[in-house]
Structure 1
């Protein structure tokens, strides 16, 4: 342990100090203020004779008379299976009034890069109970599938619904996976106290807290702490998944607040900014978080990520969603128009995508018609959306009977398939049944993306007749 009283400057969340010995990058620092308060920090940059330190609790009370102690180790997360059911702050300290954490191990929060050869390809289904995800943009174990939202949209409600409903279907586990448990790691960054209260009330009301670990970084907490919170959450997830054989779902909200913290620190360091003022290394930084999802060949457990970000100005070309889209395997897009219509959850399936969906559906638990139903509904809904634009120009009366059927399909797709509320938990079988009800509105000859045998088995003839009677 080395101690100095050589602080030269305090700038925003950063403290600069002179040193006479080499100091390691990411090394943990304790700063004792003249008032006797001890603050924690981390070495952000180390050069010959000078280090910059980011202080987790903020730099208030620090002056040139403060003492700086370098502890000679990087930040570690105390991990144990007993963390399930606990609520921690953004630095990993318990805030639920429970006992102190007695760890089984202390693991570096940066984690270890997964050897690509050791990765198991993600191809096993996770059922969220949300039709717009399960039916159209299936989530797979080990996948990273972000939610692209906007300010004021109910992404928190969707996140809570997924957290309490997400299950690992028994049929998918097979003999080896029997007994594997499912846990939720919830990392909140820069949220308001009101949002934090809503999260906790929902976790406690539904009993989801018993299988969850919650990390809470509030809006009035130091921005620097936000850069640590997701790493603490992911370190906990990796421990539960790869050492305790849990299937872990990690929900991180809001990634936008995390990136704003990176920009604030970059400005304090007087770095040359990149796009829109964000650091040029933001892509690398986000990749370090997202790439910690996955499965290992010799381990039962898995880490699946659902990061949530609010797109500034609903702009999907903004650097945060743009870079996230490059790294992750798709996205779930929330739509402001659907939200204004009262659709819950307002998920727009057309710009949404799950690149691993084809590997997670079909044989096994999900029925063999999943891919065909999804493709056909996507095509029909897209055609209905195009026809809505045409209706605004020529009127509905000018359209053919066929076109009117696709318009009706688009309306019912939103009000019956996407719309389900935040308390409804649909199995994949229920989701596909609704899909067949909707596809049966269309003439058989229009179902050109579905196998003929499946049409004969599942097409509802009475649905077409009912549509004809209703038209008469």
Structure 2
């Protein structure tokens, strides 16, 4: 229960965008929570951004629209913003401030905690060691998500990153252990917010989901608060409730732009592309709240989704995110143009903790070997594709043409899946083997001989039907096209 201070301040010096400058204050601290009462009796809420002598800069969560500075009263709580936490959040749909929009009562909890939170002490961190299976084959097989990891999705405007985020949130599991998802949507359009609610309705009805939705027409300050609420809720579910929690945050670029807008309103000196100089530390204060506590059950895994303006991976938001996180899943316009979903660029994607959460005793004994061979073969196929563009496909060797067949099979038979399909890992790895076996055995040098024997790898698979089989027809097609060129 929050106890409000008895002192109310009425000297509002200035209203500037989402900020209110209160003068004549004493004993007010940074990040302190405030209650703002309008002349009509309407109450708004704010957080102290800065204190200078008797001036306090308060960011108003509901914005300052309609506020008359001559008729506003501000009371400070003496502490930071706190919210109730507990399993009561599960199954609820709320706005970016945590207020229910599903028609239900306010959320109550067994205790309240500060929203600001803090990163996990490195001394108390437990190294990630178990997978979170998303049901998305390309992610589970090639960039395995590990409990306690922070793994962002890098996308661009027009790509289905929100669909992928919702799919992962809807079907992820932790091997039968207690599992929950906290989805924080930031800057969403109303159609996108409706899509997310519909896509996650089943998981929400099962009491496994917390949904926080901040739309583009909501106050910009709310967008800054939303991911902190999500992480605070997730930390309690994980470290008090013993659950494995996946926090999906989309779109972090909208969050960073809100941060830039508030920084400009405060008159701060801008850094790269007008973002505040503290963007790195601010993003780190969010991403580093994931992990596992030594000796405690539960984990918090973070999957931030961000759009790269103009597809520029050197833009400050993806650039700084890449420094903080442990890999990335990159979506490709070229793959999407081929009608493949999800349009994952496997060679640009990476999970640095994959070896900690995959392999014998965790996923499958052949998982890491198959993933390494798939990526090696795909890299060779990309080189062959570039060579074919220069000299024509007719000039390629039979092994090179096999790699072109492999590249097409990789996209169509391995990566591509329905948007509502949850693919088991065993099925994904078997699909990977089928794709790999389109190559001669001599090209599968990263796989142990015992595995190749067990899966019936041949020196030249399908050679007998080179001219009549599906792969042969593809090779002939390439040859004819190269000759024509």
**Range of TM-score over shorter length:** over 0.9
**Corresponding residue for residue 25 of structure 1:** 30
Q: Which runs of 4+ in 1 moved over 3 A?
A: 205-209, 459-463, 466-469
Q: Kindly state the Cα deviation for residue 463 of structure 1 after the two structures are TM-superposed.
A: 8.5
Structure 1 residue 227 corresponds to structure 2 residue 224? yes
**Corresponding residue for residue 376 of structure 1:** 373
**Corresponding residue for residue 6 of structure 1:** 11
Asked if the contact 2:91–2:204 (Cα under 8 Å) also holds between the matched residues in 1, the reply is no
Asked if the contact 1:33–1:61 (Cα under 8 Å) also holds between the matched residues in 2, the reply is no
**Corresponding residue for residue 155 of structure 1:** 161
Structure 1 residue 247 corresponds to structure 2 residue 253? no
Q: Kindly state the Cα deviation for residue 385 of structure 1 after the two structures are TM-superposed.
A: 1.3
Question: In the aligned structure 2, how far is the partner of 1:3 from the partner of 1:206?
Answer: 44
Aligned residue for 2:182, secondary structure, equals strand
Question: In the aligned structure 2, how far is the partner of 1:134 from the partner of 1:395?
Answer: 35
Question: In the aligned structure 2, how far is the partner of 1:419 from the partner of 1:24?
Answer: 53
Aligned residue for 1:71, secondary structure, equals strand
Asked if the contact 1:25–1:46 (Cα under 8 Å) also holds between the matched residues in 2, the reply is yes
**Corresponding residue for residue 324 of structure 1:** 321
**Corresponding residue for residue 99 of structure 1:** 105
**Corresponding residue for residue 315 of structure 1:** 312
**Corresponding residue for residue 74 of structure 1:** 80
Gap regions ≥5 residues in structure 2: 474-485
Kindly tell me the number of residue pairs found equivalent between the two proteins.
Answer: 463
Aligned residue for 1:112, secondary structure, equals coil
Aligned residue for 1:313, secondary structure, equals helix
Question: In the aligned structure 2, how far is the partner of 1:31 from the partner of 1:365?
Answer: 52
In terms of mean alpha carbon deviation, does 420-429 or 294-303 score higher?
Answer: 420-429
Asked if the contact 1:254–1:308 (Cα under 8 Å) also holds between the matched residues in 2, the reply is yes
TM alignment of 1:191-230, pairs within 5 A? 191-205=188-202, 210-230=207-227
In terms of mean alpha carbon deviation, does 384-393 or 257-266 score higher?
Answer: 384-393
Structure 1 residue 53 corresponds to structure 2 residue 58? yes
Instruction: Determine which of 298, 301, 304 is the counterpart of 1:304.
Output: 301
Aligned residue for 1:415, secondary structure, equals helix
Question: In the aligned structure 1, how far is the partner of 2:64 from the partner of 2:345?
Answer: 43
Q: Kindly state the Cα deviation for residue 349 of structure 1 after the two structures are TM-superposed.
A: 0.6
Q: Kindly state the Cα deviation for residue 343 of structure 1 after the two structures are TM-superposed.
A: 0.3
User: What do the CA deviations read for 1:135-189 (whole angstroms, capped 9, x no partner)?
Assistant: 100000000001001111111111111112111114xxxxxxxxx4100000011
User: What do the CA deviations read for 1:87-113 (whole angstroms, capped 9, x no partner)?
Assistant: 111111111111222221111111133
TM alignment of 1:220-369, pairs within 5 A? 220-369=217-366
Q: Kindly state the Cα deviation for residue 205 of structure 1 after the two structures are TM-superposed.
A: 4.9
In terms of mean alpha carbon deviation, does 456-465 or 112-121 score higher?
Answer: 456-465
Question: In the aligned structure 1, how far is the partner of 2:168 from the partner of 2:116?
Answer: 27
Instruction: Determine which of 119, 134, 139 is the counterpart of 1:128.
Output: 134
Structure 1 residue 63 corresponds to structure 2 residue 68? yes
Question: In the aligned structure 1, how far is the partner of 2:368 from the partner of 2:213?
Answer: 38
Question: In the aligned structure 2, how far is the partner of 1:196 from the partner of 1:281?
Answer: 29
Q: Give the alignment's Cα RMSD to 1 decimal.
A: 1.5
Asked if the contact 2:167–2:199 (Cα under 8 Å) also holds between the matched residues in 1, the reply is no
Asked if the contact 1:18–1:51 (Cα under 8 Å) also holds between the matched residues in 2, the reply is yes
**Corresponding residue for residue 89 of structure 2:** 83
Aligned residue for 2:461, secondary structure, equals helix
Q: Kindly state the Cα deviation for residue 64 of structure 1 after the two structures are TM-superposed.
A: 2.5
Q: With the length of structure 2 as denominator, give the TM-score of the two structures.
A: 0.93
**Corresponding residue for residue 478 of structure 2:** none
In terms of mean alpha carbon deviation, does 14-23 or 264-273 score higher?
Answer: 14-23
Gap regions ≥5 residues in structure 1: 171-179
**Corresponding residue for residue 174 of structure 1:** none
Q: Kindly state the Cα deviation for residue 311 of structure 1 after the two structures are TM-superposed.
A: 0.5
Instruction: Determine which of 407, 419, 436 is the counterpart of 1:422.
Output: 419
Aligned residue for 2:462, secondary structure, equals helix
Asked if the contact 1:388–1:407 (Cα under 8 Å) also holds between the matched residues in 2, the reply is yes
Asked if the contact 1:163–1:208 (Cα under 8 Å) also holds between the matched residues in 2, the reply is no
Q: With the length of structure 1 as denominator, give the TM-score of the two structures.
A: 0.95
Asked if the contact 1:22–1:48 (Cα under 8 Å) also holds between the matched residues in 2, the reply is no
Q: Kindly state the Cα deviation for residue 209 of structure 1 after the two structures are TM-superposed.
A: 5.8
